[in-house]
Amino acid sequence: MVEDIQEGGGEMIEVQDLTKHYGDVVALSGVSFSVEQGEILGFLGPNGAGKTTTMRILTGFIPPTSGRARVAGFDISEAPLEVKKRIGYMPENVPLYGDMGVERYLLFVAELKGVSRSKRRSHIGEIMERCGIREVARRPIGKLSKGYRQRVGIAQALVGDPEVLILDEPTIGLDPKQIVEIREMIKSFGGEKTVLLSTHILPEVSVTCDRVVIINQGKVLAQDTPESLAARLRGAMKLILQAEGPEEEIMEALRDIKGVREVKKSKDLGGQRAEYLIEAKEDVRREVARAVVEKGWGLFELRPDTAMLEEVFVQLVTEEEGA
C-alpha cells in the first residue's frame, strides 16, 4: 500500500529516506515524503509513530541518523541556520516562557528571527490581530488559558513571516470550539504558506489538509488526498475464516449471507479444514459464525483481515472516540 513519492517542482519540504535511532530503538526507518509550496500536509499517525521525531529533525532540533531533508531548498544538515530562518515551529504542548508577557515574548522572537527593529512592533501587532490575542498582549503567558496559549504558540511560529509552518498537534487538549477556530486559522494559511501539521485524529486531516501522509512505527504507510484515502477504506471489510466441512457447501452458504461480496478459499489445512477469505460490505462476523455453526461445521477461527493501513485507521478512529 506504500506509494512512491511523486516527483514534482515547487517542493518546499523534501524528505528522503530519513531514519532515526535512539540507541536500539528505531524511531524512524526510511521516511520519505514531500510537501509542495502552499500545500497543507497532514501527518497522521498514532502516538509514538514518529511524527514528532520527523518534525524535530526538520526544524533542526535533532539530527537524523541517516537520510536527507531539505526545506526551501536548504539541506538541514548543511545549512541549519538558513532552514531555521524559514521555518515557524510550534512544538507539541507549546512550551513557552510563563513569566514573559505575550507581546514581550513575540518581540523577543522577532528579534531572534531578525525582524528589523523599525518593523517589529507593527509586525507583531498584525500577528496578534490575526491570531486573536491582542486582548491578552500584556498578560504573562503562564496565566493564559489553554486556548490562548495555543494561539500564542501559532503566533510565535508566524513571527518573521516564515515560508514553512510546522505545527505539532496544534489542536490537542482544546475544547471543540477552540479546535474549530484553530483549524480555521490553519486553513487560512493554505496557499500562502507551506504547512506541515501532525495529528493523531483522522477527521482533523480531512477538515484541514490538502494531502495526508500516514505514518506508523516510523514508516510511511500511505500518502494521498484525504478523500481518496477514505474511499479506499470505505466498505471494505475482509474476514478470515477457518472452518471444517464440505468446501463447496461452505462457500455457497457464505455467499448467501447478505453483504458478502466474495468468498475465496485461501489455504487448505488438510482433511476438510480450510481457510477462507471473505470480502464484505459490512461487518458480517455474527452472520458468518451463525451460518457455520447452524450447519454443524467446525468453526476454528474467525477474524478480520487487517492490512497495516486499516489497522492504523482503526486505531485512529478508536482514539478519537475515546478522546
Cβ proximity to other proteins: between 77 and 206 the closer is 77
104 near other proteins, judged by CB under 8 A: yes
Strand partners, 14: 34, 70
Collapse the DSSP code of 257 into the 3-class scheme (helix H, G, I; strand E, B; otherwise coil) and give the result.
Answer: coil
Sequence-ordered alpha helix ranges (H) in 62-145: 80-85, 102-112, 117-131
Pick the binder of other proteins from 111, 163, 224, 319 (CB under 8 A).
111
Among 113, 187, 232, 285, binds other proteins (CB under 8 A): 113
- Interacting residue with other proteins among 6, 22, 122, 298 (CB under 8 A): 22
Measured from the CB of residue 55, what is the shortest distance to other proteins in angstroms?
A: 10
Q: With binding defined as CB under 8 A, does residue 48 bind other proteins?
A: no
Of 112 and 231, the one with the shorter C-beta distance to other proteins is 112
Compute the least distance from the CB of residue 100 to other proteins, in Å: 7
CB of 118 to other proteins, least distance (A): 16
Determine whether 80 is exposed, middle or buried from the number of CB atoms within 10 Å of its CB (0-12, 13-18, 19+).
middle
C-alpha cell at 192: 500562502
Cα within 13 Å of Cα(19), Cβ side: 10
Fill in the per-residue mask, 147 to 166: x = in contact with other proteins (CB under 8 A), - = not in contact: ---------x----------
Which x/- pattern over 258-277 shows residues binding other proteins (rule: CB under 8 A)? --------------------
Encoded amino acid at 224, one letter: D
Distance CA 226, CA 205 (A): 7
Cβ of 308: how many Cβ atoms within 10 Å? 15
| DSSP states of 181-247 | HHHHHHHHHTTTSEEEEEES-HHHHHHH-SEEEEEETTEEEEEE-HHHHHHHHTT-EEEEEEEES-H
Site string for other proteins, 52-91 (x = CB under 8 A): ----x--xxxxx-----------------x--xx-x-x-x
- Contact status: 93 vs other proteins (CB under 8 A): yes
In the complex with other proteins, the residue whose CB is nearer, 105 or 276, is 105
Which amino acid type is present at position 275?
E
| Cell 506508523 -> residue | 216
Please report, as ranges, the residues that interact with other proteins according to CB under 8 A: 20, 22, 27, 56, 59-63, 81, 84-85, 87, 89, 91, 93, 95-100, 104, 108-109, 111-114, 156
